[in-house]
Amino acid sequence: FKESLQEIADVVPMTLDHKLVNLHANMNSVMEIDQVLRNGASGVGLFRTEYLYMDRDSLPSEDEQFEVYRHAVKQLQGKPIIIRTLDIGGDKKLDYLPLAKEDNPFLGYRAIRISLDRKDLFMTQLKAILRASSYGSVKIMYPMVTSLSEVRQAKAMLEEAKQELSAKGIPYNASIEVGLTIEVPAAALIADVLASEVNFISIGTNDLVQYVLAVDRMNESIAHLYDPYHPAVIRLLKHVIDSAKSVGIPVGVCGEMAGDIRALPIWLGLGIEELSISVQTLLQVKHRLLTSDAAKCKELVDQILTCKTSEQITELLALNEQADE
Ligand code: PEP
Ligand code: MG
């Protein structure tokens, strides 16, 4: 099966009724670029930069980061890469950057909150990303945004980083695109407001599901309650996607749910145009996409949105899958 999947790596990712869906790859390290290319990804929809900061004993310098980002950009040969700024805290720790002990780390000092607080650290990363942007198609994405004020602060720091580079005559793409992840319920509810401030948004379902359902994604004793098919999640996803569309900016999905074959009819029915998936499942999703009908998925989603339980939703999805076989 794997070998036959390889044959569709270069096929245009389009549904039977000609809806194009960009299939990007998630990447945790530049070592994965070969796989990204081999699996025919149209770009990198999420580069998790925290792994650059982990497994070492000091912060990576601007030059070190620049080299990694530039390498990735060059290897991608014009395909776009969305570089997400540092997302530590929560479950991800750095030994050399001791953070105060927290009772609720997932509700604590993490991601953009750290970046806005530790300007030194953030500016270093922003400058490294900007420098890499003169070598290809680079976009910046801010994680765990909760309010408009956070986006504006991050954008102001990006402007400052640009000015510092300009003053030194260092090249960068002055019109680099900026986006943010929607993974906090507050951000999802004001997605239209946040979307008006950026060039694109991407839904991080891993965290969004945990926060919507108040279910710690790392806690095994409640893993059965971690349910991406809960009607509250589906309704919120629809709200976010509709909000982005009303503002006229692209919206993608970068959480694990993007690579869940079962969820594909939901994404197609909600009108998603970009999925960012781990390379391991990218071709399986593509295989299903090529034999899907987006208009039928839209009808299915209309039905799903009337469901009262996740059991009803997964049952509808299962019936739909059988009908297609
Ligand atoms: C997410 O939360 O869905 C996401 C893509 O980010 P991470 O899994 O790195 O938290
Ligand atoms: Mg996340």
Q: What is the mean pLDDT of the chain?
A: 96
The rounded Å distance from CA 41 to ligand 1 centre is: 19
Q: Give the position, in ligand 1's atom list, of the atom nearest the Cα of 256.
A: 3
Known catalytic residues are: 254
List, as residue ranges, the binding site for Mg(2+): 183, 207
Whether the predicted interface score ipTM is above 0.90: yes
Q: Which pLDDT does position 99 carry in this prediction?
A: 87
Tell me which ligand sits closest to the C-alpha of residue 254.
1
The model carries a pTM of 0.97
Q: Which of 83, 80, 71 is nearest to 22 (CA)?
A: 80
Whole-number Å distance between alpha carbons of 286 and 8: 8
Please determine, for residue 325, whether its predicted confidence score (pLDDT) is greater than 80.
no
CA of 29 to the centre of ligand 1 (A): 15
**Measured CA distances, 224 to 177, 210, 213 (Å):** 38, 12, 12
Ligand 1 atom nearest residue 203's Cα: 3
- Please name the residue whose Cα sits nearest to atom 9 of ligand 1: 48
d(C-alpha 93, C-alpha 109), whole Å:
11
Among protein residues, the one with the nearest Cα to ligand 1's atom 4 is 204
Q: Ligand 1 centre and the CA of 144: distance in Å? A: 9
Question: Whole-angstrom distance between the N-terminal and C-terminal Cα of the chain?
Answer: 16
- 2-39 pLDDT, tens digit per residue, is 668 999 999 999 999 999 999 999 999 999 999 999 99
Binding site residue list: 48, 84, 183, 206-207, 217
* pLDDT at residue 2 in the model: 62
Cα–Cα distance, 73 to 79 (Å, whole number): 8
* Cα–Cα–Cα angle for 189, 278, 107, rounded to 5 degrees: 40
- Tell me the pLDDT band of 98, cut-offs 50, 70 and 90: confident
> Which residues line the pocket of ligand 1, CB cutoff 6 A?
46, 48, 87, 183, 204-207, 254-255
Whose Cα sits closest to atom 7 in ligand 1?
Answer: 206
8 Å CB contact between 27 and 33 = yes
